[in-house]
Structure 1
Amino acid sequence: MLVQAPPSPAFSDVLRRDLDGETNVISDALTSRMIPDDALAKPCKLERRMGDSELSYYLPSRSTGVNDMYLHLGFEAPEHMVRRARVRMVWAILRVRHPLLASQVVMHDYNDVRFEFIPPQSPEDALINADHNLEYKSTSKDDLIDSYLNGPRTLSNERLSYLIVSQRGSTLPSPPLTPRPSSPLPHKQETPSQNHDLLICAAHFLGDGMALHQFANDFFGLLGSEKTQGELETQLNEEWRARWGSTPDATSALPRAMEENFAEEPSRFRRAVGKVDFQRTQEQLIGGQSFPRGSRQPRHTIVPTVSYDVERTKNILKHCKAHGVSVSAALFAICNIAWARVSAGKPELPTMMYSALNLRPCFTIKPLNDSYWFLAVGYFNVILPNFIPKSSDISSVFWHRARIAKEQSTRAAKNSMVVSRSRLMAEERGRRSRAWAKEDDDRERGVYVPPPPSTSHTTPSAPSAALIGLSLLGNLDGIYKHAVFPGVKLHTLTTGSRQRSGGMLLFGYTFAGKLWISLGYDENGFEKETVGKFWENVLQATDELMVSGGCSTGH
């Protein structure tokens, strides 16, 4: 939808920002070079309603930022590559490409929440907007992540994305005026590489993990390129002109909601079949295992992370390949074995775990633009027995369950009803999130009235508790094209999101040739001894069964 926006205030010809006592100036000279003659005279406003999946992430985030994503990347690079002028230019280029990153959210009611985007009126406008959403710090990786997860919320309805750069122990001098395209490359000088930390922050209703990692790859592809500052400036000019230099097409400027990328079912009969199938699959979700809850202290999320060196990772990949499973399928079995060894639940009830499903390959309608920043996730469950047969070899049990996890994952991803199930699940999540949001708001206003107790007699249903969620990102080295930015060496990656009280999610991925496993959870939300023992068992089982291939028969 395209509507006329109120005139924006004139931007200053000079943008000043103090960095460690020095002044960085975007001057009249830069302004005169960057604003084309055909800059938008009147700002327009583009908007669209959120879909059900987006709403299911947005509504819980309003108060404390539940689900706000982060991606931390530790890297080595020469100091000039991370100067503010270069970083903000790259950040501006990518925000021009992906308008949801620079959008705002306006909530009219629970059924009408909208993205609103005012295209930048000039490349300078885009650059200043990027600068306002960029911060430099001198703090450690752990402090960056802890502050984002447990401190005041970084994002808001007015700020849907944010970038933080940190370099400990030294200052980042402010650059001089942006060089003209003819200026020599500053990084031709011999400059040593230094360690830096980058934190990319984005609301989950903007997109998913695939968008976040593709974005990081594109970011470093520009930042670590051989392009001069002037060449990056020219690229910003060209991309702005191509996308926003004239009145944009309101129907194609913003990425569509996920549900709009699926073709409608062709008949009422097919829709009815889909509803029956969805109900049947929901009834099959049986799980009787869960972590015992802890104190009611305020939420505090921690993310213990372990990486396996290149040689041990090669062994893991070799053993998984020999048994016909992926690392992702094996991690379901690792969690299953680790929990069974905790012996905290009834052995006769199965263990259910859930994970996200990338729905991009399932889209049946061609996207209207080239932005990949949109939400495209479904959900599936893996259900495994909660016992270890005493008469069986633990290695055989483990690899057998890994193959079961692979079969269930494949069946969920390749099922002919995956689109129908995903659409109906999105509708269900949207309904629940609207109901819970209204309940939360009524409680806050002191007007909540509990619903009357049900008088209907229902048949007791099977338990459907999930033990844990797994975010299995696969081989991220297939996304990060390290050879494209040789001046930058990525060496550390940690990802996750702000959690609700009692949240828990295990991450598994391969990055920089290493397998990484991390457990993000609210340490005040669970009984500490049980979680500690489970995490210890996860690491022990990984060493015993995946690194070594399984040579122990102990329990």
Structure 2
Amino acid sequence: MQASTSTTPTRFERKMGETELSYYLPSRQTGVNDMYLHLGFRATKAQVSSERVKTVWAILRLRHPLLCASVHMHDYGDIRFVYDAPTSSEDLLKEAGENIEYRAKSKDELIDGYLNGERTLSNTRLSYLILSEPRATSNSSMPSPPPSPAPSNRTSSEQPQSEQDASQELFEHDILICAMHFLGDGMALHAFANDFFGLLGGQSSDEQLKQQLSEEWKERWGSLPQDVSVLPSALEDNMPVKWSRLRRAAAAVDFEMSQQKLVGGQAFPRRKDPKCKENGVSISAALFAVCNVAWARMGGGPKDLPSMMYSALNLRPYFTVKPTAPWNSYWFLAIGYFNVILPNFLPQENVAKAFWHRARLAKEQSTLAAKNPLIVPRTHEMARERSQRSQKWGKEDDEKEKGTWSPPTPPSEQSPPSPPREPVLPARAKAPSAALIGLSLLGNLDGIYKHLTFPALELHTLTTGSRQRNGAMLLFGYTFKGKLWISLGYDKNGFADGVVEKFWDKSLKCVDEFLG
């Protein structure tokens, strides 16, 4: 971390870690992996006034500096977060207002525009808020929340009844919270949304929120921070490894062995439920089985090769470096990956028994991945490999765009020939390692959203996703407001006609059959 005091405002910067870099480089052209979180909610107009939203947005951008940082790329291996410290709370409000947009669009139009339209985010805009204009709610029977404190000196009891009724009228609102994936993961996004609505729907008046913004700015920037990490550390720095020559070699062997176990021969052709508890699995484990059975029922792929699916692993429990207040932002990447491998055939009888057995297999594999004693060095090895691969592809993409790219010289034609890399393990026949689909399993989000802390608002709809790379497919599954929600994001032009629609139809039927 570097701080410069020779210019105003004070500037902080740090290099991206390898995991952050592996997300950043592929995102540059079309916004691959740019995240969004949509929330639909009911509230009065006063509770969601533009000034109130802007103040809440400013408070949270102050608490989480990466949201208002920019990215400076010096080289493929030297990409930096750059953060200019806010000079005042007024500066924060102005900058927050420049990163909010109101649109007269429906939920589906907002999401479609973000996913399929021109890119919203950029190197100088790492986060953004998009809100719909308020619409009259059809749920007129719902009890109205208490109004925000009136700006005038007159109490609400002294206001005419018609004014009180109008101030308590509920409207439908939609919000999209948009952020680059290299800033953080789904857990950061949902924790942020909970804090956002906690402030927006809390008891503080608009003036009290502005006072809170001023006080929090003074706490952080009343004097120049000394020897502190203003910007959250990279994933690899939060779970450091004391490398030795022997440990490096052991980590390389373990990583290569773990990769060789990943056998998957299924791929789409290119162009809290009581039943789960009874069977000893979570909804997340059951969704692996849903995808497995749906694909097998389609008859896709060779029967003798298994289906491999990947998912994200929360690495926060493995962090040994803990930030201190007030520089303890939760906006940072903390995810690794694990794979679940299941058979690609179904018995002719008692498919339900096979379904729950595979759900238990998915649970077992997920647990083994989370409890692996070598998870920290393995994460470092994976980060290093992903970073090197992204740098190579990023350089190739840039050269192709400039028209200067040429295919690498085959090893047999190199002069002098490069010595072959010493293999870590004995040679063995290479098995296919195609992943059928990715699953983003967020668990029970009602454990994150503290609905009782924002009684003036009622959240009722949640959808999340990201812009997809070519040929990518990701299924999202979570529980929200006591219901199971699943959604499928994919590259529409990357698959053979009708295959994704058929898979989605069979997946929904599996949910109804086994989880309904």
TM-score, normalised via structure 2 length: 0.90
1:525, CA displacement in angstroms? 1.1
Q: Is 1:380 the equivalent of 2:338? A: yes
1:62, CA displacement in angstroms? 0.9
- Residues 424/193 of structure 1: CA separation in 2 closer, same or farther (3 Å cut): same
| Per-residue deviation, residues 200-247 of structure 1 (Å, max 9, x unmatched) | 000001000000000000000000001011110111011111112221
1:487, CA displacement in angstroms? 1.0
Asked if the contact 1:382–1:405 (Cα under 8 Å) also holds between the matched residues in 2, the reply is yes
Letter in 2 for 1:444: E
- Residues 184/365 of structure 1: CA separation in 2 closer, same or farther (3 Å cut): farther
1:197 counterpart (158, 171, 174): 174
Distance 1:268 1:227 in 2: 57
Distance 2:198 2:156 in 1: 17
Letter in 1 for 2:42: E
In the other structure, the counterpart of 2:248 is 271
Letter in 2 for 1:220: F
Distance 1:221 1:248 in 2: 28
In the other structure, the counterpart of 1:4 is 4
Written as runs of structure 1 = structure 2, the 5 A alignment for 1:59-78 is: 59-78=25-44
More deviation in 500-509 or 213-222?
500-509
1:180, CA displacement in angstroms? 7.5
1:250, CA displacement in angstroms? 5.3
Q: Is 1:123 the equivalent of 2:89? A: yes
Letter in 2 for 1:331: L
1:261, CA displacement in angstroms? 0.6
Letter in 2 for 1:202: A
2:69 counterpart (98, 103, 111): 103
Asked if the contact 2:241–2:377 (Cα under 8 Å) also holds between the matched residues in 1, the reply is no
Letter in 2 for 1:422: T
1:231 counterpart (188, 192, 208): 208
In the other structure, the counterpart of 1:327 is 283
1:460, CA displacement in angstroms? 4.3
- Residues 185/113 of structure 1: CA separation in 2 closer, same or farther (3 Å cut): farther
2:376 counterpart (411, 419, 434): 419
1:5, CA displacement in angstroms? 6.8
Written as runs of structure 1 = structure 2, the 5 A alignment for 1:239-258 is: 239-249=216-226, 251-258=228-235
Q: Is 1:220 the equivalent of 2:197? A: yes
More deviation in 412-421 or 247-256?
247-256
More deviation in 274-283 or 452-461?
452-461
Q: Is 1:406 the equivalent of 2:363? A: yes
Distance 1:407 1:380 in 2: 12
Q: Is 1:282 the equivalent of 2:262? A: no
1:357, CA displacement in angstroms? 0.4
Secondary structure at the counterpart of residue 379 of structure 1: strand
Q: Is 1:82 the equivalent of 2:59? A: no
* Residues paired across the two proteins, number: 484
| Per-residue deviation, residues 338-375 of structure 1 (Å, max 9, x unmatched) | 00000021010000000000000111122243100001
Distance 2:371 2:155 in 1: 52
In the other structure, the counterpart of 2:145 is none
Asked if the contact 1:5–1:118 (Cα under 8 Å) also holds between the matched residues in 2, the reply is no
2:270 counterpart (293, 301, 306): 293
Distance 2:153 2:476 in 1: 46
Distance 2:153 2:333 in 1: 41
Letter in 1 for 2:310: Y
Asked if the contact 1:505–1:519 (Cα under 8 Å) also holds between the matched residues in 2, the reply is yes
- Residues 88/341 of structure 1: CA separation in 2 closer, same or farther (3 Å cut): same
Distance 2:51 2:224 in 1: 29
| Per-residue deviation, residues 27-56 of structure 1 (Å, max 9, x unmatched) | xxxxxxxxxxxxxxx411000000000001
Distance 1:528 1:472 in 2: 27
Letter in 1 for 2:406: V
Distance 2:402 2:408 in 1: 17
1:147, CA displacement in angstroms? 0.5
In the other structure, the counterpart of 2:496 is 527
Distance 1:382 1:151 in 2: 33
Distance 1:138 1:168 in 2: 8
Written as runs of structure 1 = structure 2, the 5 A alignment for 1:36-55 is: 42-55=8-21
More deviation in 444-453 or 225-234?
444-453
The alignment-based identity, stated in percent, is 60
Distance 1:120 1:181 in 2: 31
Asked if the contact 1:138–1:169 (Cα under 8 Å) also holds between the matched residues in 2, the reply is no
In the other structure, the counterpart of 1:482 is 451
1:179, CA displacement in angstroms? 8.5
| Per-residue deviation, residues 112-157 of structure 1 (Å, max 9, x unmatched) | 1000001110000000000000111110000100100111110000
